[in-house]
Amino acid sequence: MTEHATAQPAGARPRVLSGIQPTADSFHLGNYLGALRNWVAMQDDYETFYTIVDLHAITVPQDPAVLRANTRVSFAQTIAAGVDPQRSAVFVQSHVPEHAQLGWVLMCLTGFGEASRMTQFKDKAGKQGTSAASVGLFTYPILQAADILLYQAAEVPVGEDQRQHLELTRDLAQRFNSRFSETFVVPKAHVLKGAAKVLDFADPTAKMSKSSPGGCIFLLEEPKRISKKIKSAVTDSEAAIRFDPENQPGVSNLLEVLSALSGTPVPELVAGYEGVLYGTLKGDVADAVVALAEPFAARTQELLDDPAELDRIMASGAQRAREVAARTLADVYEAIGFVPPAR
Ligand code: TYM
């Protein structure tokens, strides 16, 4: 790696890349606890690249005006969550054409069977039927690998549901390095211990997801609605607050969320709730989530109210990202034997 143009200089901070889809008009609590809060924390020790993955968003049917609006809202929310555009390159994926270009190269290195084993494709295609699903939805994890490898990222902060895509990314990086030349850093998933999989409040056997809005806490939702959803969270009839994800998934989910938001370890919370009814725990979770969501929504709105400034931040993020992405792509093209264009 060291002799290669894409290698970072000795002593440089390792790189991080992560992405989020602009497929809703608000991020949800799972996005925040599973990924975003970690994006913020990693800015201190890493050189960080964060992207709103609009190319991924078109793998399912979408409306152009809605996509445009959701991309801006997602970008604003990323900054409102604490990602600092001075310290991190924050950008929109389609502003950096190298993602699609490297994606194609990696598709040509991926086996059809290998891509077929991705469980998220099966889940997402399942809803619309495999034959109705787009080829883009099928190759989506390979584009995700390109997102990561373009930046030579060592760590990728994500929720639990992204692990399999990270394994594919590692396999593709190693395959490219051994088949051609040492070009890519082989990245690792950086999954937090608590709240890496926030569960649906209405159905604690499922992951919280925007596709089930009833049990999903959207951070830009009215505080009253947030509270109401949390206070009616499905629990169980045990009537004892214990951390037992197997038998008491609803209560355990509430405890994990509260622990992640308050910084109090789960066992300490459990000890404090001895002999207390579920309603008290739910009320505390609701207060903690609203305390996060209210200033977050206000900051997001402030950013959206100044579209020229948002455009400027987008442009400067894309420029920083392209500097790195273009270098990696040039190395990749050389390694696979493309004739460089004459200058
Ligand atoms: P997306 O947009 O579905 O989710 C963004 C991030 O939120 C995390 N997440 C959760 N974490 C905990 N509990 C939940 N219920 C929950 N739901 C979502 C996800 O793990 C993710 O970290 N394929 C990615 C986007 C992507 C990407 C990338 C990520 C594209 N390229 C490169 C990392 C690196 C996705 O669909 O995330």
Is residue 150 predicted with pLDDT exceeding 70?
yes
pLDDT band per the 50, 70, 90 thresholds, residue 94: very high
Is residue 5 predicted with pLDDT exceeding 80?
no
pLDDT of 119: 87
pLDDT of 127: 67
Is residue 2 predicted with pLDDT exceeding 80?
no
Q: What is the pLDDT of residues 178-203, one digit of tens each?
A: 999 999 999 999 998 888 999 999 99
Extract the tokens encoding 331: 């190395």
Which one from 122, 210, 224, 282 is the annotated catalytic residue? 210
For helices 64-80 and 307-336, what crossing angle results, to 10°?
Answer: 100
- Pocket probe for ligand 1: among 53, 62, 142, the residue whose CB has the most ligand atoms within 8 Å is 53
- Pocket probe for ligand 1: among 20, 54, 124, the residue whose CB has the most ligand atoms within 8 Å is 20
**What span, in angstroms and rounded, lies between the C-alpha atoms of 173 and 182?**
9
Closest protein CA for atom 29 of ligand 1: 19
Q: What is the pLDDT of residues 273-319, one digit of tens each?
A: 999 999 999 999 999 999 999 999 999 999 999 999 999 999 999 99
Which residues make beta-bridge pairs with 88?
48
Q: What is the pLDDT of residues 250-267, one digit of tens each?
A: 999 999 999 999 999 999
Q: Are 183 and 39 in contact (CB under 8 A)?
A: no
Is residue 7 predicted with pLDDT exceeding 70?
no
Closest protein CA for atom 34 of ligand 1: 18
Q: Are 29 and 36 in contact (CB under 8 A)?
A: no
Which residues make beta-bridge pairs with 217?
none
Half-sphere exposure of 133 (CA within 13 A, CB side): 18
**Which residues line ligand 1 at a C-beta cut-off of 6 Å?**
17-21, 30-31, 33-35, 53, 56, 144, 147-148, 156, 158-159, 161-162, 196-198, 207-208
Average pLDDT for 105-121: 94
pTM: 0.96
How close is the Cα of 5 to the center of ligand 1, in Å? 30
Q: What is the pLDDT of residues 153-168, one digit of tens each?
A: 999 999 999 999 999 9
- Could you count the other beta carbons within 10 Å of the beta carbon of residue 63? 9
pLDDT band per the 50, 70, 90 thresholds, residue 140: very high
Q: What is the per-residue DSSP string for 145-208? A: HHHHHTTT-SEEE--GGGHHHHHHHHHHHHHHHHHS-S-----EEE--STTSSPBPSS-TTSB-
How close is the Cα of 97 to the center of ligand 1, in Å? 21
How close is the Cα of 21 to the center of ligand 1, in Å? 7
Q: Is 210 a catalytic residue?
A: yes
Extract the tokens encoding 112: 């059809």
Q: What percent of the chain has pLDDT over 90?
A: 90
Radius of gyration (C-alpha) of the chain in whole angstroms: 21
pLDDT of 106: 98
Is residue 10 predicted with pLDDT exceeding 50?
yes
Is residue 16 predicted with pLDDT exceeding 60?
yes
- Pocket probe for ligand 1: among 16, 28, 31, the residue whose CB has the most ligand atoms within 8 Å is 31
Q: Is 207 a catalytic residue?
A: yes
Residues sharing a CB contact under 8 Å with residue 52, sequence separation 6 or more, in sequence order: 19, 20, 21, 22, 71, 74, 75, 78, 91, 92, 93
pLDDT band per the 50, 70, 90 thresholds, residue 235: very high
Average pLDDT for 234-249: 96
pLDDT of 343: 85
How close is the Cα of 343 to the center of ligand 1, in Å? 40
